[in-house]
Amino acid sequence: MVLAIDMRMMKNILIWILIVLHNICCGQASDTSSVSNSTKSLLSQPFDLQAFKKKKGGANSSGNRKYNYFFKSGKGVYWSFFLFPPIAGYIGEVPSKDIHLEDGLEITTFQPQGKNQNKYIDPEETLIQVIERYNDIDLPELAFVGLNKDKIKKKLGQWQIQKDNCIVYFHLNYLLTLHIKDGTVNWVKYTRLNFPVTKDNIPADLLKDKFD
């Protein structure tokens, strides 16, 4: 009888331990898989695309290659905009125009069929991707190039994934990739995808850059 009671107690203790471990693990997973509301807002709408383009006044443009992971809202075309004046930016936290680089900032949009399609300003276009290799003085929302991981964490919270020298934040179908080189961010990619992002389905292209 005593042995039966002891076995029952041991079983209950074991179950309790398993429940506690499960809750701890779930709590840790929740902490690392979620982002703050401010970071979610940044991912959902990082900046006012039309206001930015109007402020710049113009840029070079070309049809962009269609990647199957790019968000698409119907019939239309992808456009890449680059060489935004003054074709200069900065690295780190002090806004300036010291760094001159033709590929410093590239923005991809999706323009649906309509009267403004293929124009520099299209009120109906959707932001698809931003690639930064320097910080643009008119785009402070994404001024992460040159910052170390501690400063990124202070601004955005704990990243959800670290892979291939990148730290990654995501929310719904929005993805922010920051590549770390020599301790600091040397390029940033913001992308709107056509599917919900998880830690297991991030396109390999978004974890590398043509200059790496």
HEC string of 6-45 equals HHHHHHHHHHHHHHHHHHHHHHHHHHHHCCCHHHHHHHHC
Mean pLDDT of the chain, nearest integer: 87
Q: What is the mean pLDDT of residues 142-170?
A: 97
Structure confidence at residue 15 (pLDDT): 41
CB environment 82-96: b (16+ within 10 A), e (fewer): bbbeebbbbbbeeee
DSSP string, 111-150: EESSTTTTSS--TT-EEEEEEESSB-TT-GGG--TT-BHH
pLDDT for 199-208, tens place per residue?
A: 999 999 999 9
Number of neighbouring beta carbons within 10 Å of residue 37: 9
pLDDT confidence bin for 109, thresholds 50/70/90: very high
Domain chopping of the chain, boundaries: 1-33, 37-207
Inter-residue contact 100 to 88 (CB < 8 Å): yes
pLDDT for 180-190, tens place per residue?
A: 999 999 999 99
Does the pTM of the predicted model rise above 0.85?
no
How many Cα atoms occupy the beta-carbon half-sphere of 10 within 13 Å? 6
Inter-residue contact 191 to 129 (CB < 8 Å): yes
In degrees and rounded to multiples of 5, residue 192 shows phi and psi of: -105, 120
Q: Which two tokens stand for residue 137?
A: 């003085």
CA distances from 28 to 24, 121, 202 (A): 6, 45, 21
How many Cα atoms occupy the beta-carbon half-sphere of 121 within 13 Å? 10
pLDDT at 29 over 80: no
**Cβ-based neighbours of 102, under 8 Å, separated by 6 or more:** 82, 83, 87
Inter-residue contact 191 to 206 (CB < 8 Å): yes
